[in-house]
Structure 1
Amino acid sequence: MQSSKHLHLGGQTLVKLAEDMLGRAEGDRIESVSGYSRRLSVAVGTVQKALKELEDLRAVVLQGKGHMGSFVKNINYDRLYSICGISTIIFSLPLPYTKRLEAVATGFFKHFHTSYGSVSFELSYMRGSRQRVNSLMNNRSDGAVISRLAADILIKEGFPIEIVAGLGPGSYLSSHGLIFSGNDCASVKSLGVDPMSLDQTVMTERFLRESGLYINLVEIPYSQIIENIKTGVVDGTIWNRDYVVERIGELNFRELSSPGADEASTEAVLVINSDNLPVRHFIKRNMDIEKVTAAREGVIKGTLLPEY
């Protein structure tokens, strides 16, 4: 993770061309010098110098073919990543507090735990989809796993992110429901909600609309909500059903909707900063979604131990 904005103009052009080359393969025709000049808003001479430097660094070998243009004869992705300042790629994942989330973490770990040439890979874990996306925006991570629902909402809000991979419905969670301590839903007068969890916030708003109940919302960190229900600080919360099934037998639970509804909230997706071309190219070249899914399903079925 490195920004090129503090480099001099020639250095910035070199990095931009290296990013462009990361999306190419041997035999590809590259853009013309004048085309790069217009797109990058630099002089033709600056582009020519940067292309020559890429060749001098043995990152690429270009072959001119007259009026047909220039083509990539040979390409060294390791050197291109080095020029772009990419040595480690970090994905932030949700805290693995359910079996499904353990399965997602295992899928990514099994697939990416080895180095890819000069690029190594790391996983970090943090609560809240907004917090994970903020980590992207602040260049503390290169990818974030959130629900498709959260991704769609954040994109509509104007966040410069894009979905680069989806693991399918049911990969993030099975469904949401109301956890409460009273005898019935009508007894719920207050709900705990973590504003950093976009999914929980959206599903809580939906519950309030559909129930027609007047309920006080109390902001509480996600990890503390259940204890606050048990001690009577709040009456309930909207929660991941998987956690309820696995750990909260003494509290009441009501499904928010029928199975299969709101699939976007149940699917895990990988998002990146839309401007991060090196990471986009890395994922496109190296990520095999079938391998990630196979490991994830192995954990769910019990044929593979969680590892992350």
Structure 2
Amino acid sequence: MMWEKLYSKNGLTAKNIAKELLELEIGEKIPRVADYSKKLSMGRGTVQIALGLLEELKAIRLEARGHLGTFLVDKDIELLQEIAGISPLVGSMPLPYSRKYEGLATGMVEAFELAGKAINLSFMRGGLNRIEAVRTKRSDFAIVSKMTAERSLIKYPNLMVMKRLGTNSYVSAHKIFLADAQDSRIRSKMKIGVDMDSPDQKELTFSEFQGMDVEYVYINYMQLFDMLEAKKIDAAVWSMDDKRIIQTFHSIDFKSPVAKQISGNTSEAVIVIDRDRKKELEEKWGSVAIEDILSIQERVEAGEKIPRY
């Protein structure tokens, strides 16, 4: 019965006020009834009833403080979004195998919360899979490397980069990891692991070993550690953020100038969206600050904050 009231005139006003309150932080003073009345072209009585309805639905909790005004002391973000007809943004990002990715996921979730918004994250292996999730509208946005984004935008001009997170926000660096601790270089006939669903790893691998007499073994990058440990592959390009890998295997730097250049372009995380939805998604993103995302990511990486996503 309570939800049916949202379809009344008062309910329509409640939906509009819910949108306004999503932008307000807990502890802030809410606009006066007269202000809402003027902005929404509704009577004061209608506005008052709408605010009461939001309280009855447990979407908000208000506290009147006499001449100081009325303050928002609590709000249910997801409930307010549902009342306002706004669904949370859905984003896809890499599997959180490293502290950097755990930090990025935590940064996304908590920065949205700081802005009074909610977000849903899905975790997918392979940048191409995440790009495809945006193209097929299973995700509102995808987090990929700058390099993957640039390659994808050439193929799919309807996509665009909405946000850039800066150098080292995606990975710190890539290196070549060797299965045999006695090896210090890539030799002829070596087996090199490559994940064809990961544009970054694939491009780095093929650029570094181009023209060399090596055998490529197609793998899922989640198998990389086990494949190296069992010596089913001799070497593979991988991220220096994966502590298990760097603590177990010897690594060497890239020699190819092309691989070195690509490595730089894989260090930055970017947000890719459908160009046709730019206005809608920018509104949903709202006041979420990239600086907040990166600050939280750094704290998780430093071990100062427990990951939460």
Fold-level match, TM-score > 0.5?
yes
| Corresponding residue for residue 147 of structure 2 | 149
Q: What is the SS of the residue equivalent to 2:241? A: helix
What do the CA deviations read for 1:67-122 (whole angstroms, capped 9, x no partner)?
A: xxxxxxxxxxxxxx98x975231011111111111111111011124795xx7421
| Corresponding residue for residue 42 of structure 1 | none
Q: What is the SS of the residue equivalent to 1:146? A: strand
| Corresponding residue for residue 12 of structure 1 | none
| Corresponding residue for residue 127 of structure 1 | 125
Residue 278 of structure 1 pairs with residue 277 of structure 2: no
Q: When the two structures are superposed, what TM-score results if normalisation uses the length of structure 1?
A: 0.65
Distance 2:240 2:189 in 1: 18
Displacement of 1:250: 3.2
| Corresponding residue for residue 195 of structure 1 | 196
Kept in 2, the 8 Å contact 1:188–1:215? The answer is: yes
Displacement of 1:129: 0.5
Displacement of 1:247: 3.9
| Corresponding residue for residue 227 of structure 2 | 228
- Mapping of residues 32-47 of structure 1, within 5 Å: none
Kept in 1, the 8 Å contact 2:225–2:245? The answer is: no
Which amino acid in 1 is paired with 2:282?
R
Please say which of residues 182-191 and 90-99 is displaced more in the overlay.
Answer: 182-191
Distance 2:155 2:297 in 1: 30
What do the CA deviations read for 1:233-282 (whole angstroms, capped 9, x no partner)?
A: 22121111221x44443322112269x95432101111111111311332
What do the CA deviations read for 1:137-185 (whole angstroms, capped 9, x no partner)?
A: 1111101111111101111223522111111111111111111223232
Report how many residues are paired.
226
| Corresponding residue for residue 207 of structure 2 | 206
What do the CA deviations read for 1:164-213 (whole angstroms, capped 9, x no partner)?
A: 1111111111111111223232156221111110110111111113xx41
Q: What is the SS of the residue equivalent to 1:286? A: coil
What stretches of structure 1 move > 3 A for 4+ residues in a row? 113-116, 245-248
Gaps of 5+ in 2: 1-38, 42-80
| Corresponding residue for residue 94 of structure 1 | 94
Distance 1:123 1:250 in 2: 30
Describe the shift of the 1:188–1:214 C-alpha distance in structure 2 as closer, same or farther (beyond 3 A).
closer
| Corresponding residue for residue 263 of structure 1 | 264
Q: What is the SS of the residue equivalent to 1:151? A: helix
Which amino acid in 2 is paired with 1:213?
M
Kept in 1, the 8 Å contact 2:89–2:284? The answer is: no
- Mapping of residues 60-139 of structure 1, within 5 Å: 86-113=86-113, 120-139=118-137
Q: What is the SS of the residue equivalent to 1:196? A: coil
Kept in 2, the 8 Å contact 1:272–1:280? The answer is: no
Distance 2:162 2:197 in 1: 23
| Corresponding residue for residue 238 of structure 1 | 237
| Corresponding residue for residue 138 of structure 2 | 140
Q: When the two structures are superposed, what TM-score results if normalisation uses the length of structure 2?
A: 0.65
Kept in 2, the 8 Å contact 1:89–1:121? The answer is: yes
Distance 1:114 1:288 in 2: 9
Distance 2:303 2:138 in 1: 33
Distance 2:276 2:201 in 1: 28
Kept in 2, the 8 Å contact 1:192–1:234? The answer is: yes
Which amino acid in 1 is paired with 2:105?
A
Kept in 2, the 8 Å contact 1:114–1:120? The answer is: no
Q: What is the SS of the residue equivalent to 1:172? A: coil
Displacement of 1:125: 0.9
Percent of residue pairs identical: 27
Q: What is the SS of the residue equivalent to 2:296? A: helix
Describe the shift of the 1:120–1:107 C-alpha distance in structure 2 as closer, same or farther (beyond 3 A).
closer
